[in-house]
Amino acid sequence: MMQKTAADDMEAAFAVNAAANKIILHNVGKSYKIGKGNFTAIANVNITIQDNDFACIVGPSGCGKSTLLHMLAGLDFPTQGAIWINNKKVTSPGADRGMVFQTYTLFPWMTVEDNIQFGLKLKKMPIKQIEEITDKYLEDIKLTKFRKSYPKELSGGMKQRVAIARALANQPEVILMDEPFGALDQYTKNRMQLLLRELWQKEQSTIVFVTHDIDEAVFLATKIFVMDAHPGKVKEVVNIGIGENRTLEVKDTFEFIQLRKYINELLYDHQDDDEENI
Ligand SMILES: Nc1ncnc2c1ncn2[C@@H]1O[C@H](COP(=O)(O)OP(=O)(O)OP(=O)(O)O)[C@@H](O)[C@H]1O
């Protein structure tokens, strides 16, 4: 019989923890080889995210937000530590994770409904069920009338609504979003934030959302991971207790403004005048 190693014991211990948490990042680090040296982008990141959390990640440019998200997606890998999603170690991309990026990633040659149905057809779901799911999400994102349109006929906000519907339609365990509203004007951004909160509540999804926009993070999140750079690490986890049913008016409340101020102070605290960070 093979001898059990300390690493095996550690894996088993994390499997137990992973059962209580939807996502675990344990001592995650990421280094890149640059020339003959090593550049540490992220070091010792420990994060736990529970089922139905809306976790936002904020931090200065270069602190490793996108790298973390790519590692959660299985598109990149830690050089130290491990990531667990739903009790499984992340070793590759998978249908259990849906992604929405800032750049529009719809298939340009497909209509809105074909884009939403793409993953469902891959799974060989019965056509009747595919149509039911498509109708439901088209209604949720208020684009039923545009079901036969092509992405080039849609505005930026509409494209991102389709991208969100496509991600949700696959019923992933986790939705990973990398600045999905970063390219939108403020009015559209506000509308998208409201819609996303509504969908998240209705679907009880678990979302990890990277943003530069503190206002957006406070409005959306149940908890915010504030990161620090050089190397990237979690500086503080801020729980956002401003009520479940948030309307845009919440942004004018004292509690909201205080939270925004607190997170800004955490961020500016370390933003020295390092030109490389700008
Ligand atoms: N392939 C790579 N090779 C070398 N260094 C890399 C590579 N990818 C990322 N980095 C470095 O890792 C660090 C983290 O990058 P990342 O893009 O994750 O930061 P970020 O917080 O998402 O930044 P931003 O907010 O500007 O998008 C940066 O210093 C970046 O230069």
Q: What is the dihedral of CA 50, 133, 115, 195, to 10 degrees?
A: -50
Atom index in ligand 1 nearest the CA of residue 179 equals 27
- Nearest-angstrom CA–CA distance, 140 and 120: 17
How many angstroms separate the CA atoms of 73 and 95, rounded? 10
Nearest residue (CA) to ligand 1, atom 7: 32
pLDDT of residue 243: 85
Taking the centre of ligand 1 as the mean of its atom positions, its distance from the CA of residue 60, in whole angstroms, is 11
Q: From atom 12 of ligand 1, which residue's Cα is the shortest distance away?
A: 41
b/e burial code for range 97-109 (CB count within 10 A of at least 16 → b): bbbbbbebbbeee
Check if the beta carbon of residue 174 is closer than 8 Å to that of residue 72: yes
- Residue entry with tokens 């403004």: 257
pLDDT tens digits, 152-162: 999 988 999 99
Q: What is the ipTM of this complex?
A: 0.96
Instruction: Assess contact for 123 and 143: CB atoms under 8 A.
Output: no
Compute the distance from residue 62 Cα to the ligand 1 centre, in Å. Answer: 5
Its pTM surpasses 0.95: no
Of 226, 176, 225, the C-alpha closest to 205 is: 176
Mutate to test the pocket of ligand 1, among 31, 32, 178, 227 (most ligand atoms within 8 A of CB): 32
For the chain, the domains span: 108-171
Q: Decide: 192 and 155 in contact? Cβ < 8 Å.
A: no
Residue 72 burial (CB count, 10 A): 22
Q: Which of 35-44, 115-124, 216-225 has the highest mean pLDDT?
A: 216-225
Please work out, in degrees rounded to the nearest 5, the angle formed at the alpha carbon of residue 71 by the alpha carbons of 70 and 75. Answer: 60
Task: Look at residue 101 in the predicted model and tell me its pLDDT.
Answer: 85
Give the residues across from 175 on adjacent strands.
98, 207
Distance CA(249)–CA(119), nearest Å, equals 36
Measuring from each residue's beta carbon to the nearest atom of ligand 1, which residues come in under 6 Å? Answer: 32, 39, 41, 59, 61-67, 232
Please, are residues 250 and 242 in contact by the beta-carbon 8 Å criterion? yes
Strand 97-101 to 174-178 pairing: parallel
pLDDT tens per residue, range 221-258: 999 999 999 899 999 999 999 988 889 999 999 999 99
